Structure formats: C-alpha cells, structure tokens
Amino acid sequence: MGEFVRVEVADQIATIRLDRPKMNALNGRMQQEIGEAARTVDADPGVHAVVVYGGERVFAAGVDIKEMVAMSYAEMSRHSGPLQDCFTAVARIGKPVIAAVTGYALGGGCELALCADFRVAGASAKLGQPEIQLGLIPGAGGTQRLPRLIGPSRAKDLIFSGRHVAADEALAIGLVDRVVPDTDVYTAALEWAATFTGGPALALRAAKQAVDHGLETDLDRGLEIERLQFAGMFATEDARAGMTAFAEKTKPTFTGR
C-alpha cells in the first residue's frame, strides 16, 4: 500500500489502483509506487491477471507538470530513466494486463495505458499525447509504444498535434480495444481479466514475452524467441496436464507449474 497507489487482490485478479485526487497527476512518488506495484503483482503467483484503474472520474491526466516545470536539463536527465522504468515495469508484468480508462488518459496517463495488453475505455474517455503543446515530446514511452500499437502515421498525428482522441475514434484506430458505458468500465475490465484466471499461467507469460520481445526484433529472431518459448512449455506440468486432458477429452486443471 503506497501513498498514491495501492494493490487490491480478489479472485486471482490484482487491481493497481491510482489514487491521487483529483486528476491522478503522476508525480515522482506516484511513479515510483506504480513500479513497485507492478513488480509486486508480477511476482505474486496468486495473481493471474491485472487491472490498472484510476477510479470512476479519471484514469490519469498526465505527469505532474507543476513538479517538472522547475527541473533543469541535468535534473530531467537523471529523472527520465526512472520515469521510463516505472512504466516499463507495468509493460513487463508477465500476466494479462487491462487498463480500465475513465475520463482522461493524457500524456503519462496515455503512456501508462499503452503499457497494458488491452484497454477498456468509457464512452466519454479522452486519450492523447499533448506534450507537444508544452514544447515537449512524450517521455515515458509514447513515441515508441504508440506507433507500435496504431502505426507510425496515426501515432505521428496524435503526437505532432497533441489533440485529444474521443473513445469512438480511439476504438476505430486501435488505441483502445473496447468502449463501454462510463459506469461499466471497471466491471468490464474485471470480467475480461476473469477470463484468464485458472488458465495456464506459465504459457500466458511465455506467450506475452514471445509477442512483446518479437516485436522488438526482426522476424527470424522473433521466430527463434517463439521456438524457445514453445519448447520450454514441455518442461511444465501445465502443458502435460493440458495435452493429457485433450487426449482424454476432460477439462485440464492448471497449477502454474
């Protein structure tokens, strides 16, 4: 339990809850706590899926500008590494991660949502990378994760203009995966996360790593990553249980071993 971020676990689903009223501006302390929460849920074998949620009103309106405005180049040069590290910790959670986006997910808030595997947005949600309007560029992964998700041309449109994207457009361009009524965002994310509980945790981790790491390299190396992960599954009890159950026409019981 941090000052601004807490982890709540129920039914094998962990919620990383952002709670810094009133806009969840991501100050340095909150960034650190996000990284700590991500590493905690990643290491917990009782957690099978993760939801990142900012509450009913807002996901996160961005990095705390008031904290940054007085920073020098030297100070930001030191801070920018830890800033990226806390977001990368979320991206590297070896379990399915769903961002439940209400209200604004702007700047660092949008970059945090990009670290999830899936994004559920409320109908009135707004997403974007408005840093250009401050004379800046995204610094917590936006220039890298956004084009990998929606393509370079669409990413440049959002980054160069700094405009806010409504939920329906975000769905159309692939920035979010589902749009639901505002009041249903967290429930929809939990229901999606629940589809992964009780599943083969080791295979889910391997599949996520194969996809994510494969996107960072060329096809031949990506195929080698897949081959090694695939072969590694044959050292797990879950794979044996799954294949045996298939052959016997029964339902497998996965233990995460």
CA dist 89 and 70 (Å) reads: 27
d(CA 126, CA 106): 7
Host H or E run for residue 216: none
Q: Are residues 14 and 41 in the same domain?
A: yes
The CATH number given to whatever domain includes residue 213 is: 1.10.12.10
Q: Which of 131, 191, 216, 224 is catalytic?
A: 131
Q: At residue 135, what are phi and psi to the nearest 5 degrees?
A: 80, 20
Q: How confident is the model at residue 182 (pLDDT cuts 50, 70, 90)?
A: very high
Place of tokens 């040069």: 77
Residue with tokens 């807002």: 58
Residue 81 belongs to some domain of the structure:
yes
Q: What is the pLDDT of residues 231-253, one digit of tens each?
A: 999 999 999 999 999 999 999 99
Q: How far is CA 175 from CA 88, 107, 239, in A?
A: 18, 14, 33
Last residue of a domain, one of 194, 221, 238: 194
Whole-number pLDDT of residue 204: 96
Share of the chain above pLDDT 90, in %: 93
Q: Are 60 and 20 in contact (CB under 8 A)?
A: no
Distance CA 175, CA 98 (A): 13
Strands 165-166 and 126-128: antiparallel
- Can 131 be counted among the known catalytic residues? yes
239/70 Cα distance (integer angstroms): 54
Among residues of the chain, what percentage have pLDDT more than 70?
A: 100
pLDDT of residue 1: 75
Beta strands in 19-170 (DSSP E): 49-53, 97-101, 104-106, 118-122, 126-128, 165-166
Answer yes or no: is pLDDT of 70 > 90: no
pLDDT at 67: 86
Question: What is the average pLDDT across 31-55?
Answer: 97
Residue 30 — very low, low, confident or very high, per pLDDT cuts 50/70/90? very high
Residue 171 lies in a domain: yes
157 and 216 housed in the same domain? no
pLDDT at res. 187: 98
Q: Pull the structure tokens for residue 166.
A: 């409504």
Query: Do 132 and 160 meet the contact criterion of CB atoms below 8 Å apart?
Result: yes
Same domain, 104 and 159: yes
Residue 108 sits in a domain of what CATH number? 3.90.226.10
* Domain total of the chain: 2
- Joined together, the tokens standing for residue 211 give 């996809």
Round to whole Å and give the CA distance between 189 and 97.
9
Q: What is the pLDDT of residues 130-158, one digit of tens each?
A: 999 999 999 999 999 999 999 999 999 99
Three-state DSSP state, 130: helix
pLDDT digit string, tens, across residues 77-132: 998 998 999 999 999 999 999 999 999 999 999 999 999 999 999 999 999 999 99
Mean pLDDT score, 181-206:
97
Confidence of residue 181 (pLDDT cuts 50, 70, 90): very high
> Range of 219's domain?
201-248
At residue 31's C-alpha, the angle toward residues 36 and 58, to 5°, is 110
> Given 33, 67, 111, 226, which residue is catalytic?
111
- Strand order across the 165-166 sheet: 104-106, 126-128, 165-166
For residues 28 and 89, membership in a common domain is answered with: yes
Is residue 176 located within the same domain as residue 221?
no
pLDDT at 185 over 80: yes
Q: Has residue 253 been placed in a domain? A: no
The overall average pLDDT reported for the chain is: 96
Cα distances (Å, whole numbers) of residue 39 to 7, 185, 242 = 11, 24, 28
> Do residues 101 and 18 both lie within one domain?
yes
8 A C-beta contact, residue 193 and residue 100 = no
Which residue bears the tokens 């930001």?
Answer: 76
Is residue 95 within 8 A of residue 50, CB to CB? The reply is yes
Question: Is the pLDDT confidence value at 38 over 90?
Answer: yes
75 catalytically annotated: no
User: What's the pLDDT score for residue 168?
Assistant: 98
